[in-house]
Structure 1
Amino acid sequence: MTSSNGQSALPVVPGAGSGRPRVGNREDLPDRIWTVPNALSVLRLLGVPLFLWLLLGPEEDLWAMVVLMAAGISDWADGKLARWLDQGSRLGALLDPAADRLYIVCTLVALALREFVPVWLVALLVGRELVLGVMLLILRAHGYPPLQVHYLGKAATFLLLYAFPGLLLADGDGWLAAIAEPFAWAFTIWGTALYLLAGVLYVVQVVGIVARDRATSRA
């Protein structure tokens, strides 16, 4: 498994001779900043306020949809480029999931404010992010970095980033909106389900790490 910035997405593997589990390999990545994948991730982050302004200010839904689609394409492209150019990095391993989560949360809130999506959907996905935030604090308390991005999480992010432009398109009139609506909601439902499942798997991994640590300390 690989995350979108080219690093291995291994969950938890035993540490050699230490008795402590070793989490992924993010710390083994090069400590570099100026790479093409990192530049794409930064551009994706800069697109968040632009998207929010387009959607909530002048309500330029078409241009907001273009920004979202560009974010989805760059999310795919930075991972491919990281592998093709051998430009995986620690910064990229942090920037990429951060940009994904920021886009999803901000987009959900904006779409809810425009009444494109129900509030319960926003509550589910934002609640998932809050739970993962608590898991990150637990990992830090035990001396571990964040876990690697799970492939289910990347699949869910892909579905949601393409579902949201579809929801904007489905809000219009005419045959194109009628065609887009079922596909947009299918992507939204499947993306939400996978996003929640990836969150559950993340919690399970963290619980396993904490249990291992406690067992090791008692040994």
Structure 2
Amino acid sequence: MSKHTHNGEDEAFSPEPKNIIWTVPNAISFLRILSIPVIAVLISKRYLVWSLIVLAVSSASDGVDGYIARKFDQVSRIGQILDPIADRLLIIFSMLALGWAQILPWWLLIAVGSRDVVMLGEVLLLSDRDYGPLPVHFVGKAGTALLLMSVPVLIVADLSGSTFFQVLHLIGVAGAIWGAVLYWCAGLIYIMQGHALLSKDKRRVNA
């Protein structure tokens, strides 16, 4: 049975994804995923400068793989899956490490992590009904961006105890909090979208 699809505005401007695995962009994405535990360990051990270096390289690779994929017509379905997975893993592992290093409060980690658990449940439920991933909402993109940006800010802020770095720490925490709020707002949007799809299926079956 074919999966239901959700057409978005971006599809008209993106190359058709192919069922290919062994491509340079996918290799870069895979290496980026492998770098995430390294970043987390470096943060938790407080090798902050090294963690920033690896994080910078990993973040740069995120743009490189997308450029190569579009430039050389190597956009793949697996690549479209790996990219958001890498973002989620980077957020989760980095925040766990920041919490372990006592740079970020644990309640914030729980807030972010619990949202991803809820979303995983919805994805599995929709997949069981032959639905593909829901279209990414701009609120979710904004929340993810804030969370990702807060990680290097918090790492840099912990390099010194001076007033400037203390203020920077507050900015990083504030960014993470707002990111978590938007993260959950997007989660509620996805839940409502999923509920609408399942309700539509139920009405179709009962018709």
Unaligned runs of 5+ in 2: none
Cα distance, 1:71–1:24 mapped onto 2, change above 3 Å: farther
TM-score under structure 1 normalisation? Answer: 0.79
Kept after mapping to 1: 8 A contact 2:33/2:86? yes
* Cα shift at 1:218: 1.3
User: Distance between the aligned counterparts of 1:186 and 1:72, measured in 2?
Assistant: 21
Asked whether the equivalents of residues 37 and 87 of structure 1 are also in contact (C-alpha less than 8 Å), the reply is: yes
Q: Are the structure 2 counterparts of residues 138 and 190 from structure 1 closer, same or farther at C-alpha, using a change threshold of 3 Å?
A: same
Q: What amino acid does structure 2 have at the position aligned with 1:78?
A: D
Partners of 1:84 and 1:190 in 2: CA distance: 35
Distance 2:26 2:5 in 1: 25
Instruction: Decide which of 109, 123, 137 is 1:136's aligned counterpart.
Output: 123
2:55 to 38, 45, 68: 68
What's the TM-score, normalizing by structure 2? 0.83
Distance 1:100 1:110, change over 3 A: same
SS at match of 1:23: coil
Which amino acid letter does the alignment assign opposite residue 109 of structure 2?
Answer: V
Percent identity over paired residues: 36
Q: Which amino acid aligns with 1:185?
A: V
Paired position in structure 1 for 2:194: 206
Change (3 A) 1:155 1:88: farther
Task: Report matched runs for 1:158-197 at 5 Å.
Answer: 158-173=145-160, 174=162, 177-178=165-166, 180-197=168-185
Indicate the residue corresponding to 2:22 in structure 1: 34
**Structure 1: which 5+ runs fail to align?**
1-19
Is residue 72–residue 162 contact of structure 1 (8 Å, CA) maintained in 2? no
Q: Say if 2:36 is the partner of 1:48.
A: yes
Q: What's the offset of the Cα at 1:31?
A: 0.6
Which AA in structure 1 matches 2:117? L
Write out per-residue CA displacement over residues 190-217 of structure 1, whole angstroms, 9 at most, x where no aligned residue: 3222222221121111111101111111
Deviation, 1:77, is 4.0
CA distance in 1, matches of 2:192, 2:183: 14
Count of aligned pairs: 198
* Larger helix proportion of the pair: 2
Equivalent position of 1:217 in the other structure: 205
Q: What's the RMSD between the two structures over aligned residues?
A: 2.5
Name the SS of the counterpart of 1:158 in structure 2. Answer: helix
Greater mean alpha carbon deviation, residues 131-140 or residues 174-183 = 174-183
Deviation by residue 1:160-205 (Cα, 9 ceiling, x = unmatched): 2221111111123246524633442343233222222221121111
